[in-house]
Amino acid sequence: MTTALRRLRNYIDGEFRDAADGRTTEVVNPATGEAYATAPLSAAADVDAAMAAAEAAFPAWRDLIPAERQKVLLKIADRFEERAEELIAAESENCGKPVALVRSEEIPPMVDQIRFFAGAARMLEGRSAGEYMEGFTSIIRREPVGVCAQVAPWNYPMMMAVWKFAPALAAGNTVVIKPSDTTPASTVLIADIIGSVLDELGHSRGVFNVLCGDRETGRLMVEHKVPAMASITGSVRAGMQVAESASKDLKRVHLELGGKAPVVVFEDTDIAKAVEDISVAGYFNAGQDCTAATRVLVQESIHDEFVAALAKAASETKTGAVDDEDVLYGPLNNANQLKQVKGFIERLPAHAKIEAGGEQVGEKGYFFAPTVVSGLKQDDEIVQHEVFGPVITVQSFSDEKQAVEWANGVEYALASSVWTKDHARAMRMSKTLDFGCVWINTHIPLVAEMPHGGFKKSGYGKDLSAYGFDDYTRIKHVMTSLDG
């Protein structure tokens, strides 16, 4: 007997709706490779409806005093905690993620991030007012930009939704957000949570809307005449397409794209500690993280010892079922991603050596073994391009100059780390590494108060922090004559 698939729906103006034309797409649990739900495949009519709802809700939401928007966001954070087990279950099914890790590593920071932006709602500051021309006073108004079209990725669909809606709503914008077509379940649940809070506190539920769909849905959202801003977390290709589409009517664009983080390990490093931390930062979430520690550069004097230790750590790292509390990560998100990761391994040059892993794991689902590849050169495909899987590459460098050259020698510039006991060297490296974040003797911690975002083909704009909040505002100069 065939099990009936769960039916996910769009959330528009406070109502759960099917796509106007009735089209759907199947949603697959990557831990099993089997469909568990259907979701709307939204088209132009659905985008029109969601944008109209957000546009109608914007004036009242914009005009609320910040304390009222803060109250809404704090209530949303409370509701996330109250319904945490539902969110965990949805995200685990969405992504095949281990339940214990979603509970410990995703729910607490998401709640904290919403509360941070609740506080930011009351910090809409401008620079000082004053007289800069005799007889006139100038003031600065910081205002919301308007309706925001947001596209979230499949690697952290729930958390990335928070990174987008929380600053946007805090600043007084309204939102239409699209989750990835492979991971819509948790975002639909978030719509239910936010809608109930808006309803309880007497605000229009059109403030927050969710559209399920594919790349075409996202394109229609970005090209729509209503949004003043388009925000996407995704691939470089997708970011370029969004920037091009948004340029046609000069929408503001916020892009958080790919990464290829260098992890520079000098000979004075505590190898055991570095390997322990780097392996976790490289394999967590199956390496499906733009900041993952997957491109290691090791000083040649400790290269062999480091590689042996890293290969041993990989062999002891476990992937597997969502209810196994001993696993570090679950499956790759979808069949295409599994194919991509396999392709990188299959195309390795003859001089490369697989030190650990390198193969699919299990008979069902999209699991891939923790992998270490050594013997690589700077221009190798796997060094230059984002694998987005549980694969750590290792290169050997001779000195600090070469380490910087190779670290910066990719098209991405999101995150990096330096491992050394030499404070002066750490400071020099933090200056010369061309990345939006430089960690020293650690890799991957994030806090709500500090910005996340990169340079070059990693995009522009910041998530988290006051800088991320500022991205969802605009500046207006008001000048008045003192003559009355």
Q: Is-catalytic flag, 256? A: yes
What's the pLDDT at 127?
Answer: 78
> Do 16 and 80 reside in the same domain of the chain?
yes
What's the pLDDT at 414?
Answer: 98
Residue 323, domain CATH: 3.40.309.10
Helix residue spans in 362-422 (DSSP H): 381-384, 400-408
Spatial CA neighbour of 438 closest among 464, 413, 469: 413
> Do 271 and 362 reside in the same domain of the chain?
yes
> In angstroms, what is the C-alpha Rg of the chain?
23
What's the pLDDT at 310?
Answer: 98
pTM value is: 0.96
What number of CA atoms fall less than 13 Å from residue 132's CA on the CB side? Answer: 11
pLDDT at 331 over 70: yes
Alpha carbon distance, N-terminus to C-terminus of the chain: 80
What's the pLDDT at 128?
Answer: 79
Tens of pLDDT, residues 410-466: 999 999 999 999 999 999 999 999 999 999 999 999 999 999 999 999 999 999 999
> Do 49 and 83 reside in the same domain of the chain?
yes
**How far are the Cα atoms of 45, 148, 320, 349 from residue 224, in angstroms, in the given order?**
11, 11, 42, 45
> Do 223 and 322 reside in the same domain of the chain?
no
Instruction: Look at residue 217 and tell me if it is in a domain.
Output: yes
> Do 276 and 204 reside in the same domain of the chain?
no
> Do 156 and 195 reside in the same domain of the chain?
yes
Tens of pLDDT, residues 128-187: 789 999 999 999 999 999 999 999 999 999 999 999 999 999 999 999 999 999 999 999
Instruction: Look at residue 164 and tell me if it is in a domain.
Output: yes
> Do 234 and 313 reside in the same domain of the chain?
no
Tens of pLDDT, residues 101-144: 999 999 999 999 999 999 999 988 777 789 999 999 999 999 99
Instruction: Look at residue 300 and tell me if it is in a domain.
Output: yes
Instruction: Look at residue 320 and tell me if it is in a domain.
Output: yes
Task: Work out the average pLDDT over 310-315.
Answer: 98
Catalytic residue among 106, 290, 386, 437: 290
> Do 130 and 184 reside in the same domain of the chain?
yes
Instruction: Look at residue 190 and tell me if it is in a domain.
Output: yes
Parallel, antiparallel, or unpaired for β 147-151 and 136-144? unpaired
* Alpha-carbon span 325 to 322, nearest angstrom: 8
* Alpha-carbon span 310 to 259, nearest angstrom: 21
Residue 138, domain CATH: 3.40.605.10
pLDDT at 347 over 70: yes
Instruction: Look at residue 483 and tell me if it is in a domain.
Output: no
Domain that holds residue 317: 262-447
pLDDT at 343 over 80: yes
Cβ neighbours of residue 420 closer than 8 Å, sequence gap 6 or more: 266, 268, 269, 426, 429, 440, 441
Instruction: Look at residue 13 and tell me if it is in a domain.
Output: yes
Number of domains in the chain: 2
* Alpha-carbon span 231 to 239, nearest angstrom: 9
Catalytic residue among 91, 93, 106, 256: 256
How high is the mean pLDDT of the chain? 97
What is the band of 1 on the pLDDT scale with cuts at 50, 70, 90? very low
> Do 252 and 272 reside in the same domain of the chain?
no
What is the band of 267 on the pLDDT scale with cuts at 50, 70, 90? very high
> Do 272 and 225 reside in the same domain of the chain?
no
Q: Which long-range contacts (CB under 8 A, 24 or more apart) does 397-401 make?
A: 397/264, 397/297, 397/298, 397/299, 397/300, 398/299, 398/300, 399/299, 400/266, 400/425, 400/428, 400/429
* Alpha-carbon span 346 to 267, nearest angstrom: 32
What's the pLDDT at 129?
Answer: 86
What is the band of 351 on the pLDDT scale with cuts at 50, 70, 90? very high
Contact between residue 400 and residue 297 where contact means Cβ atoms under 8 Å apart: no
Contact between residue 122 and residue 72 where contact means Cβ atoms under 8 Å apart: no
> Do 30 and 67 reside in the same domain of the chain?
yes
Tens of pLDDT, residues 368-424: 999 999 999 999 999 999 999 999 999 999 999 999 999 999 999 999 999 999 999
Tens of pLDDT, residues 24-66: 999 999 999 999 999 999 999 999 999 999 999 999 999 999 9
What is the band of 2 on the pLDDT scale with cuts at 50, 70, 90? low
Instruction: Look at residue 453 and tell me if it is in a domain.
Output: no
What's the pLDDT at 484?
Answer: 73
> Do 388 and 469 reside in the same domain of the chain?
no
SS (HEC) of 434-465: CCCEEEECCCCCCCCCCCECCEECCEECCECH
How far out from the chain centre does Cα 73 lie?
A: 20
Q: Is-catalytic flag, 95? A: no
- Percentage above 90 pLDDT, the chain: 97
